[in-house]
């Protein structure tokens, strides 16, 4: 099926060089396709040109983000953090060809379904701890994800095993600063609590596990507290 | 006998054929022929290969770079061999992943596209050895040597296969 399917109403862009792949998602930043690549189930992330950007900036930015994403995925794997395997990077069209985590469930969908069914709620605490642990290991590698949400975390089937895979490293970067790690956690906190109602204790469990897993956590949590005070609709008095 | 062919998804006019040989007696002559160009294929040391996908990833990247004129080496065949290496040292890659004079097993990678057809019979007849199916590859692979070459971390081995680690390194080595 041509990659053009499902793009009704979208601005005319140059035809994707991705024949036989199905468009899965259109984001602000990139388009996601699914299909076979070299005999494997693959996902292709295409950073399409943004016409509103100056062309020189566009080229550099897209390439930098593509390279950064590939680099971060490798770094994750080297540190034993589950992230998709990179099959090929095309720096001409700024496409990454990645392992498709087949039949995975996003953590977001999992939490929602468990809350709705009311069954296995204990698993949610285990999941929160698992996430805390993985993020701690990631931050200990000085890798900042940059866009932590429960939609950017996948669970391989069977879901109960809580086999977590991190995805979407498009905004990732390297940093040892507790501030950056604190902000990374804050982004997750805001996304978590706004997407999943009544999960304060869950997130607390996540942070607790993070603290016990990471060697550098105390400074990070301190920064997280500071960032929370800085957030939107917060009084900066005193 | 079973050779392995795959049509590259990104370059539909291009197909890749892998042929594996054991008990090869004329590695020296084959190397010479490859260098002269009388055999138009990449001659690879199969002890360093764990799966045909490893070759496909290297080949896909090579064809891509060849088509945009951005190869790091001088020929498509050399580029395929170079892409197998986890590092950016060309001569080291050709030495470790290409065949040596006393090798008894050889894996030949042949590319066919609009401009070039491949005469499989002709290639096979030039090899003084036994053609075997790609399914026999695992018997020839030297896992210890492969692990040493690609240097997977112990943590990495827990979250994926050796092949996964190899492919990641191959595909990201230019920006790692």
Is the model's pLDDT at A13 over the cut of 80? no
Q: How confident is the model at residue A32 (pLDDT cuts 50, 70, 90)?
A: very high
Q: Which of B154, B82, B115 is nearest to B14 (CA)?
A: B115
Of A19, A20, A89, the CB nearest to B171: A89
Q: What is the overall mean pLDDT for chain B?
A: 95
* Chain segment B149-173, per-residue pLDDT in tens: 999 999 999 999 999 999 999 999 9
Residue with tokens 């892998």: B18
B-facing residues of A in 66-95 (CB < 8 A) are: 67, 70-71, 73-74, 77-82, 85-90, 92
What is the number of other CB atoms lying within 10 angstroms of the CB of residue B113? Answer: 16
Q: Alpha carbon A85 to chain centroid distance?
A: 14
DSSP secondary structure string, A66-121? Answer: HHHHHHHHHHHHHTT---PPEEEEETTTTEEEEE--TT-EEHHHHHHHHHHH--SH
Residue A9 has what pLDDT?
Answer: 35
Residue B127 has what pLDDT?
Answer: 95
Residue A48 has what pLDDT?
Answer: 85
Is the model's pLDDT at A21 over the cut of 70? yes
Q: Which residues pair with B106 in a beta bridge?
A: B21
What is the distance in angstroms between the CA of the first residue and the CA of the last residue of chain B? 40
For residues B13-39, give the mean pLDDT. 94
Q: Which of A67, A148, A146, A150 is nearest to A107 (CA)?
A: A150
Nearest CA in chain A to B154: A80
Residue A49 has what pLDDT?
Answer: 86
* Chain segment B39-56, per-residue pLDDT in tens: 999 999 999 999 999 999
Q: Alpha carbon A216 to chain centroid distance?
A: 22
Cα–Cα distance, A44 to A72 (Å, whole number): 16
Residue A15 has what pLDDT?
Answer: 41
Is the model's pLDDT at A16 over the cut of 90? no
* Chain segment A105-163, per-residue pLDDT in tens: 999 999 999 999 988 889 999 999 999 999 999 999 999 999 999 999 999 999 999 99
Residue B1 has what pLDDT?
Answer: 63
Nearest CA in chain B to A65: B175
Instruction: Give φ, ψ of A28 to 5 degrees.
Output: -70, -30
- Catalytic status, residue A147: yes
For residues A230-234, give the mean pLDDT. 74
Q: Alpha carbon A234 to chain centroid distance?
A: 27
Q: What is the overall mean pLDDT for chain A?
A: 89
Cα–Cα distance, B160 to B158 (Å, whole number): 6
What is the set of domains in chain B, with CATH numbers? 3-172 (3.30.2380.10)
Mode of pairing for the β-strands spanning A173-174 and A143-144:
antiparallel
CA distance to partner chain B, nearest, from residue A180 (Å): 22
Q: Which of A99, A136, A117 is nearest to A212 (CA)?
A: A136
Is the model's pLDDT at A4 over the cut of 70? no
Residue A238 has what pLDDT?
Answer: 59
Cα–Cα distance, A82 to B142 (Å, whole number): 26
Residue A6 has what pLDDT?
Answer: 39
Residue B3 has what pLDDT?
Answer: 86
Query: H-helix or E-strand containing A221?
Result: helix A217-230
A29 is written with which tokens? 């930043």
Q: How far is CA B79 from CA A12, A60, A228, B54, in A?
A: 36, 26, 51, 14
Residue A50 has what pLDDT?
Answer: 87
Contact present, B23 and B131 (Cβ < 8 Å): no
* Chain segment A187-220, per-residue pLDDT in tens: 999 999 999 999 999 999 999 999 999 989 999 9
Across the interface, whether the CB atoms of A79 and B53 are under 8 A apart is answered no
Is the model's pLDDT at A8 over the cut of 80? no
Cα–Cα distance, B150 to B169 (Å, whole number): 8
The residue from A90, A142, A147, A200 that is catalytic is A147
């Amino acid at each position: 099926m041509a990659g053009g399917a499902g793009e009704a109403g979208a601005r005319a862009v140059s035809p994707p060089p991705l024949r036989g792949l199905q468009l899965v998602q259109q984001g602000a930043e990139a388009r996601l396709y699914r299909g076979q690549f070299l005999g494997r189930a693959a996902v292709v992330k295409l950073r399409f040109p943004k016409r509103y950007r100056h062309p020189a900036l566009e080229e550099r930015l897209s390439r930098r983000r593509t390279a950064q994403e590939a680099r971060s995925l490798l770094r994750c794997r080297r540190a034993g953090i589950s992230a998709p395997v990179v099959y090929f990077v095309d720096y001409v069209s700024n496409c990454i060809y990645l392992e498709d985590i087949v039949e995975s469930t996003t953590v977001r969908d999992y939490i929602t379904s468990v809350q709705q069914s009311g069954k296995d709620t204990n698993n949610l605490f285990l999941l929160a701890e698992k996430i805390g642990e993985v993020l701690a290991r990631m931050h200990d590698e000085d890798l900042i994800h940059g866009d932590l949400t429960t939609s950017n975390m996948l669970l391989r089937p069977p879901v109960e095993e809580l086999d977590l895979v991190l995805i979407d490293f498009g905004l990732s970067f390297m940093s040892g600063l507790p501030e950056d790690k604190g902000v990374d956690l804050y982004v997750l906190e805001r996304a978590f609590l706004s997407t999943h109602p009544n999960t304060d204790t869950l997130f607390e469990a996540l942070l607790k596990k993070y603290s016990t897993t990471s060697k550098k956590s105390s400074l990070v949590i301190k920064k997280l507290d500071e960032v929370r005070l800085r957030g939107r609709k917060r009084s900066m008095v005193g | 006998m079973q050779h392995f062919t795959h049509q590259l998804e990104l370059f539909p006019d291009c197909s890749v054929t892998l042929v594996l040989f054991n008990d090869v007696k004329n590695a020296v002559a084959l190397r010479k022929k490859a260098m002269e160009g009388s055999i138009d294929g990449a001659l690879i040391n199969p002890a360093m290969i764990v799966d045909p996908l490893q070759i496909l990833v290297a080949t896909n990247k090579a064809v891509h770079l060849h088509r945009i004129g951005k190869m790091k080496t001088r020929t498509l065949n050399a580029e395929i061999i170079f892409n197998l290496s986890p590092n950016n040292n060309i001569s080291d890659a050709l030495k470790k992943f290409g065949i040596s004079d006393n090798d008894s097993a050889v894996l030949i990678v042949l590319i066919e596209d609009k401009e070039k057809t491949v005469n499989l019979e002709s290639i096979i007849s030039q090899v003084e050895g036994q053609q075997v199916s790609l399914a026999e590859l695992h018997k020839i692979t030297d896992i210890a040597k492969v692990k040493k070459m690609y240097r997977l971390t112990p943590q990495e081995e827990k979250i994926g296969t050796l092949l996964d680690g190899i492919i990641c390194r191959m595909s990201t080595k230019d920006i790692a």
